[in-house]
Chain A
Amino acid sequence: MKNLIKEFTKGIIKENPTFVLALGLCPTLAVSVSVANAIGMGIAATFVLLGSSLIISWVRDFIPEKIRIPCYIVIIATFVTIAELCMKAYSPALDRSLGIYVPLIVVNCIVLGRAEAFACKHNMGRSFFDGLGMGVGFTLALILISAIREFLGSGQILGYTLVKGFEPVFVFGMPSGALLVIGLLLGFFNLLKSKKI
């Protein structure tokens, strides 16, 4: 049990997919304009990670070594399709604002990265908690980045104005602002890591 908790917590800070492993930066850059988008994207990606880690770890002994990547992609794509159709059915507004980035979870490097690096070598229980931890870590990173960007870029968080009279810094609503925020946060996390060791 202790091991399982460790697999879960490592994804949140110690091996955070965005800030430490630097995986899945493309959706991070694209959807972190607003906190609402970030939460939607994070939940969808966590669902796909959980499902694919579980199934891949379950069938890992049957998949031939040489064609493992196509097999993983088929499994991942199945879960992405489920997530996309659910989002279309129950939250069309979120689906419209995330757009192409929901189907693109298929090629999110975190999902394939965890399948290749973890799920294909460990049992289902550990893979499940690894996927969950990575998903939560990714969601938290997205929320952190998007909160900074939404506040600076429009003076609001989740649509609520926090400070009156604040002049929004438009650049943080643009892609260049995303790169700036992610770069600074990556530097900050590296600083924390170097201090700890």
Chain B
Amino acid sequence: MTNNFIVSGSPHIHKQESISRIMWTVVISLIPAGIAGVIIFGLDALWVTLVAVIAAVLTELIFGILTKKKITIWDGSAVITGILLAFNLPSGVPLWLPIVGAVFSIAIGKQVFGGIGQNIFNPALVGRVFLMASWPKYMTTFVNPLNYDAVTSATPLAILKEGKILEHISYWNLFLGKHGGCIGEVCILALLIGAAILLIKGYISWHIPLSYIFTTALFVYIFGAGKLFTGDWLFHILSGGLILGAFFMATDYVATPLTAKGQLVFGVGCGLLTAVIRIWGGYPEGVSYAILMMNAATPFIDRYTKNRIYGTR
């Protein structure tokens, strides 16, 4: 009788969701893209991914022991960081590269800010940009798809950057991932399957990915070619890391705005920066830099897109 009236503060309604449940669902949603990567680039892709995941989890464990905090390796967040980092690497890299990258991602990208929930940048992208700035030679050597020897090939965006014409790659091949690129970014079909899982589950909202992709496509359509309004927008959506970035990395819970309005601003900003870097920048691809720059702007966006408190002006 006494237990029927529980007096407590809000929240009163609880859901079954928890950090680890969401994180492991994201891991599952990344598996199709991983399988596609292994099919396209061979077993090397699997080893790179495994090594990155193990290094990320071990770094998380060591930091947990050193700082005497709760060990957070079972919530899956370090696993995601490892997978996302590996998905942003070419499959032919020497295996110490994903290890260094994963240690840097977790140590500098996440733990020095205070661990899970405190990082201001997406940890996987921090690791990728570090590797890109340190060993550009390895990071821009791509393996030929479906041809597991050491023949290198350029990504479609890199070929475009050099001013060559890309007539031999059809949209269908771009969609299926039969071209050079990073492990997890090439197969758009597999990425969309994973993204659908997250969207149906409600773990990510449509605001950031759609505004991101739409803005990039629109900007590239207007300015992407010599004449206005003639850019090949479908090619730009299907090539490079745009789909991987928009659905899996720009939607990081911690480093992105909280409100729907803020998320739209974030997506549009990412889209503009990506398109600008791709069209006029020095690098062929700008997704990781665009997301990191908008991560830095997130507190600012959050400040100006606060929801109005009901009953106030």
Q: Which segment, of A97-105, A128-136, A170-178, faces chain B?
A: A170-178
B136 in contact with A170 (CB, 8 Å): yes
C-alpha spacing A109/B136, complex, angstroms: 37
* Complex CA distance for A174 and B129, rounded to whole angstroms: 13
- Report B-chain residues with C-beta under 8 Å of the C-beta of A184: 112
Residues of B within 8 A of A (CB-CB), count: 7
B108 lies within 8 A of chain A by Cβ: yes
- Encoded as 1 (CB less than 8 Å from any A CB) or 0, chain B from 229 to 242 comes to 00000000000000
Instruction: Confirm or deny: B200 has a beta carbon within 8 angstroms of a beta carbon on chain A.
Output: no
Bound CA span A47–B112, Å: 37
Q: Does A167 contact B (CB under 8 A)?
A: yes
> Which B104-128 residues sit within 8 Å CB-CB of chain A?
108, 112
* Cross-chain contact B108 with A169 (CB below 8 angstroms): no
The CB with the most chain A CB atoms within 10 A, among B108, B134, B135, is that of: B134
Q: Is the CB of A171 within 8 A of B133?
A: yes
**Cβ of A180 under 8 Å from chain B:** yes
* In the assembled complex, B130 has its CB within 8 A of some CB on chain A: yes
Closest to B132 in A: A171
In the complex, which of the residues A171, A172, A184 has the most CB atoms of chain B within 10 Å of its own CB atom?
A171
Taking CB atoms, residues of chain B closer than 8 Å to A180 are 108
Residues of A72-96 at the interface with B, using a CB-CB cut-off of 8 Å, are none
The answer on a CB contact under 8 Å between B134 and A170 is yes
Q: Known: A180-B108, A187-B112. Is A167-B133 also a contact (CB below 8 A)?
A: no
Of the residues B112, B133, B135, B136, contact of A176 by C-beta under 8 Å? B133
Task: Collect the chain A residues with CB atoms within 8 Å of residue B134's CB.
Answer: 169-172
Per-residue interface assignment for chain A, residues 10 to 33, with 1 indicating a CB less than 8 Å from any chain B CB and 0 otherwise: 000000000000000000000000
Shortest B96–chain A CB gap in Å is 9
A149 nearest CB across to chain B (Å): 13
What residues on A are CB-neighbors of B135 within 8 Å?
Answer: 167, 169-170
Given contacts A170-B136, A171-B130, A172-B134, 13 further A-B contacts (CB under 8 A): A167-B135, A169-B134, A169-B135, A170-B133, A170-B134, A170-B135, A171-B133, A171-B134, A174-B133, A176-B133, A180-B108, A184-B112, A187-B112
15 residue pairs A–B, Cβ–Cβ below 8 Å = A167-B135, A169-B134, A169-B135, A170-B133, A170-B134, A170-B135, A170-B136, A171-B130, A171-B134, A172-B134, A174-B133, A176-B133, A180-B108, A184-B112, A187-B112
Kindly list the 3 A-B residue pairs having the minimum CB-CB distance in the complex, ordered from nearest.
Answer: A171-B133, A169-B134, A171-B134
Interface residues of B (CB under 8 A from A): 108, 112, 130, 133-136
